[in-house]
Amino acid sequence: MPTILGQNQYGKAENRVVKITRDGATHHIKDLNVSVSLSGDMDDVHYSGSNTNVLPTDTTKNTVYAFAKEHGVDSAEQFGIHLARHFVTSQEPIHRARVRIEEYAWERIEAPGARGAHSFVRKGQETRLTQVTYDGSSWEVVSGLKDLVVLNSTDSEFWGYVKDKYTTLKEAYDRILATEVSARWRYHWSDDAQQAPDWDTSYDETRRHLLHAFAETYSLSLQQTLYQMGTRIIDNREEIDEVRFSLPNKHHFLVDLEPFGLKNDNEVYYAADRPYGLIEGTVLRDGCEARIPADLTNL
Ligand X SMILES: O=c1[nH]c(=O)c2[nH]c(=O)[nH]c2[nH]1
Residues with catalytic roles: 12, 57, 251
d(CA 204, CA 214): 15
d(CA 61, CA 16): 10
Q: Does 249 participate in binding ligand X (rule CB under 6 A)?
A: yes
Q: Cβ of residue 64: shortest distance to ligand X, in angstroms?
A: 25
* DSSP one-letter code for 296: G
> Per-residue x/- marks for ligand X, 138-177, CB under 6 A?
--------------------x----------x--------
Q: Does 227 participate in binding ligand X (rule CB under 6 A)?
A: no
Q: Does 281 participate in binding ligand X (rule CB under 6 A)?
A: no
d(CA 160, CA 172): 10
Q: Does 187 participate in binding ligand X (rule CB under 6 A)?
A: no
Nearer to ligand X, 247 or 296 (CB): 247
Nearer to ligand X, 15 or 221 (CB): 221
Q: Cβ of residue 161: shortest distance to ligand X, in angstroms?
A: 7
Paired strand residues for 10: 38
Closest CA to 157 of 221, 228, 71: 221
Q: Does 72 participate in binding ligand X (rule CB under 6 A)?
A: no
Nearer to ligand X, 223 or 266 (CB): 223
Closest CA to 260 of 65, 15, 90: 65
Q: Does 223 participate in binding ligand X (rule CB under 6 A)?
A: yes
User: Which range binds ligand X by CB under 6 A, 80-88, 102-110, 194-202, 219-227?
Assistant: 219-227
d(CA 253, CA 269): 5
| Residue whose Cβ sits closest to ligand X | 222
Q: Cβ of residue 164: shortest distance to ligand X, in angstroms?
A: 13
Q: Does 221 participate in binding ligand X (rule CB under 6 A)?
A: yes
Peptide bond preceding 275: is omega within 30 degrees of 0, i.e. cis?
yes
User: Which range binds ligand X by CB under 6 A, 19-27, 139-147, 200-208, 221-229?
Assistant: 221-229
Nearer to ligand X, 63 or 179 (CB): 179
* Beta carbons of 100 and 35 less than 8 angstroms apart: yes
Amino acid letter, 248: P
Q: Three-state secondary structure along 28-71? A: EEEEEEEEEEEEECCHHHHHCCCCCCCCCHHHHHHHHHHHHHHC
Task: Give contact residues for ligand X (rule: CB under 6 A).
Answer: 158, 169, 221-223, 249, 277
